[in-house]
């Protein structure tokens, strides 16, 4: 009988620990009960990025404007009296080097002797930077300067490739960020 009681108290103790862990895990969710903002008029107040060129920031500015419009926001000029202002942060950093295959070479060729040859590209693979790009959009209510929403998305792409160009990455990340609206994600959405 004593053994059964000890085993029963271990089960109760395990259940209590599980409940405490669950409560602690859910606590940030329960505390994070901001009302979801509604789309409205908006002005982009700043597009910044320490390592991003002016040209890159311009491409991201355009992509964010398009994503905001697609999310039913009405863009107003810089000095407009909008309901919200958007702060846009672009972060780009090289994170190692990867081999990017080069296209080229030629097709396999047959010969009369029954053998074949394969055309190979000159120079082999190129080494390019793997660039991590993160876009964060923060919406601030103009009336009280209170942050009402923030979302971010991140991707890793090889520089010097078509899929790694800023003109491809900017709209991809802007759409991914605004796809979260009006929900709140605890971390950036990762885009392959």
Q: Where are the domains of the chain?
A: 44-100+122-186
- Which of these ranges, 2-6, 130-134, 179-183, 185-189, has the smallest mean pLDDT? 2-6
Retrieve residue 92's tokens: 């780009």
What would the mean pLDDT of 118-122 be, rounded to a whole number? 51
* 44-100+122-186 CATH choice from 3.90.1150.10, 2.60.120.10, 3.90.1300.10, 3.30.160.670: 3.30.160.670
Retrieve residue 37's tokens: 């903002």
Is residue 114 left, alpha or beta, with left meaning phi > 0 and alpha meaning psi from -120 to 50? left
pTM of the model: 0.70
Residue of 83, 88, 82 lying closest to 64 (CA atoms): 88
Retrieve residue 110's tokens: 């047959």
pLDDT attached to residue 94: 92
Q: Please, which residues bridge with residue 150 across strands?
A: 138
How far the first Cα of the chain sits from its last, in Å, is 58
pLDDT at 108 over 60: no
Q: In terms of DSSP H, where are the helices of the chain?
A: 2-31, 54-70, 166-179
Question: H or E segment at 95?
Answer: strand 84-100
pLDDT attached to residue 141: 93
pLDDT at 115 over 90: no
pLDDT band at 23 (very low <50, low <70, confident <90, very high): very low
- Sorted by sequence, the CB contacts under 8 Å of residue 101 that are 6+ apart come out as 125
What would the mean pLDDT of 149-159 be, rounded to a whole number? 96
pLDDT at 103 over 60: no
What would the mean pLDDT of 107-123 be, rounded to a whole number? 50
pLDDT digits (tens, 9 = 90+) for 41-85: 999 988 998 888 899 999 999 999 999 999 999 999 876 689 999
Mean pLDDT of the chain: 78
Residue of 119, 114, 181 lying closest to 153 (CA atoms): 181
124 or 80, greater pLDDT: 80
């Amino acid at each position: 009988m004593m053994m059964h009681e000890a085993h029963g108290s271990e089960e109760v103790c395990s259940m209590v620990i599980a409940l405490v862990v669950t409560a602690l895990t859910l606590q940030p969710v329960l505390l994070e009960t901001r009302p979801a903002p509604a789309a409205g008029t908006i002005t982009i107040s700043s597009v910044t990025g320490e390592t991003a060129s002016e040209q890159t920031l311009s491409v991201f500015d355009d992509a964010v404007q398009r994503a905001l419009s697609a999310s039913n926001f009405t863009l107003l000029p810089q000095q407009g009296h909008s309901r919200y202002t958007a702060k846009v942060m672009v972060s780009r950093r090289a994170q190692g080097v990867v081999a990017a295959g080069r296209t080229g070479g030629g097709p396999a060729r047959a010969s009369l002797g029954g053998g074949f040859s394969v055309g190979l590209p000159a120079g082999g693979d190129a080494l390019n930077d793997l660039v991590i790009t993160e876009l964060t959009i923060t919406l601030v209510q103009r009336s009280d300067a209170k942050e009402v929403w923030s979302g971010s998305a991140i991707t890793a792409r090889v520089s010097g490739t078509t899929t790694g160009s800023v003109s491809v990455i900017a709209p991809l990340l802007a759409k991914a960020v605004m796809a979260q609206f009006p929900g709140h994600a605890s971390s950036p959405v990762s885009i392959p």
